[in-house]
Amino acid sequence: MTLSEELQWRGFVNQSTFEDITELDKKTWTFYHGFDASADSQTIGNLAAMMFDKVFMRHGHKAILLAGGATSLIGDPGGKDKERELQSEEIIANNVAAAEAQLKKVFGDNEFELVNNIEWTKSMSVLEFLRDIGKHFSMTPLVQRDYIAKRIGENGAGITYTEFSYTLLQGMDFLHLYDKFGCTLQLGGSDQWGNCISGVDLIRRARGKEAHVITLPLVINKATGKKFGKSEEGAVWLDEQRTSVYKFYQFWLNVDDGGVEDYLKVYTELSKEEIDRVITIFKEDPSQRHAQKTLAYEVTKIVHGIEQADAVVLASDLLFGRRSAEEMRPAEVAILAGELPVIEAATGASIIDVVSNAGLAESNGEARRLIDQGAIKLNGEKQTIESVVSSDHAKLQGHGLLQRGKNKFALIKIN
């Protein structure tokens, strides 16, 4: 499968300056893709862009990944109804460091050049910017761009010169990378089309050379019709301090049946043959969620590493009765301890008190009723009113797994 064929099969081609996308297959390209540093973690929306880049890398093209240390100080006005709140240089620098660490983890052994646009903007004077960059831009097409026209039109919130200049700064990035690395291709999201075109126009006017852009479409949740990547708790982050490995895995495990094949193409590196096999098995019995399980494991492996992916699978399987407590290692118990209430209990403690103390019942009376109804289990075994905690229950690295019904759990550290 050629580069252009794989891009189209995975659904990565939206807008492009190429008349024929197969032009990509005719030479080795040096491309760049910029990543925002307005937050201290990237999201799974950014991950789709990274997977876009990885297709080019697998086909032998040279990658430049740009952390927006300068542009993030300004803030992209695209898609915003009002001006972003400006962040300090210190915060942006910390965000850049976090973005670079995540990029290195996701891209793994793939080679790439990592740059930060603060390097070539911090020492540029206002006069240099106006004379060397600003003179190549006509105001007419700029004010006609959708996001600018909306802001300066009737009932718009207006736009400051700071935000208005963002597209010139991004165009300057492309020009700088063209001059330094011979970069002639920019990748971006569909919402970046206008900013990407600024670079193409600037290279043509300032250097008399041709450059190109390809954007990937927004990934849409087919079940809701909304932008993919939002959970009930908000954005799904790549940083496990913001979205735990367990919640990250569960997000993918619970994606809709209608969209899972598309997500496999975008968010994994599985081949067409492998994905076809997964979908064939999935369609034979969708209730087994084979496609979602494959997706969840593969994406977690890319973002958090194979050890964490294996651990979260085992931890998840334990909660849903597919594994025994004896199979759990410290890594799995650590994942569970980060998600579940954890209480301490001495050997000989009444199961009634333990259930109540763990928050699985509001009172000892409710705990008794739940136990009588067979709703309370410890390590998968139903408990009785007379049950007490013993050292034999410490099967999870010194812990026991307490369960109410199907979906409420707590860890008991047994002393």
Mean pLDDT along residues 306-312: 93
Q: Give dist(CA 70, CA 89) in Å, integer.
A: 9
Q: Using 50, 70 and 90 to split pLDDT, how confident is the model at 9?
A: very high
Q: Give dist(CA 322, CA 396) in Å, integer.
A: 15
Strands 113-116 and 62-67: parallel
pLDDT at position 79 over 60: no
Q: Poorest-confidence range of 53-57, 179-183, 403-407? A: 403-407
Specify the higher pLDDT residue, 3 or 37.
3
Q: Using 50, 70 and 90 to split pLDDT, how confident is the model at 78?
A: low
pLDDT at position 160 over 90: no
pLDDT at position 91 over 80: yes
pLDDT at position 168 over 80: yes
Positive or negative torsion for Cα 352, 337, 299, 185? positive
pLDDT at position 89 over 60: yes
pLDDT of 87 reads 80
Q: Give dist(CA 248, CA 240) in Å, integer.
A: 8
> pTM, whole model, 2 decimals?
0.87
Q: Give dist(CA 74, CA 85) in Å, integer.
A: 9
pLDDT of 82 reads 60
pLDDT of 232 reads 58
pLDDT at position 323 over 80: no
pLDDT at position 282 over 90: yes
pLDDT of 145 reads 75
pLDDT of 277 reads 98
Element containing residue 108 per DSSP (H, E): none
C-alpha pair distances (Å), 18 with each of 12, 21, 80: 14, 6, 28
Mean pLDDT along residues 335-344: 90
Smallest CA-to-CA distance from 122 within 65, 169, 179 is with 169
Mean pLDDT along residues 200-214: 97
C-alpha pair distances (Å), 269 with each of 47, 53, 155, 275: 12, 12, 45, 10
Task: Write the pLDDT tens digit of every residue in 341-357.
Answer: 999 999 999 999 999 99
Mean pLDDT along residues 70-91: 74
Average per-residue pLDDT for the chain: 90
Q: Using 50, 70 and 90 to split pLDDT, how confident is the model at 306?
A: very high
Contact status, residue 389 vs residue 343, Cβ threshold 8 Å: no
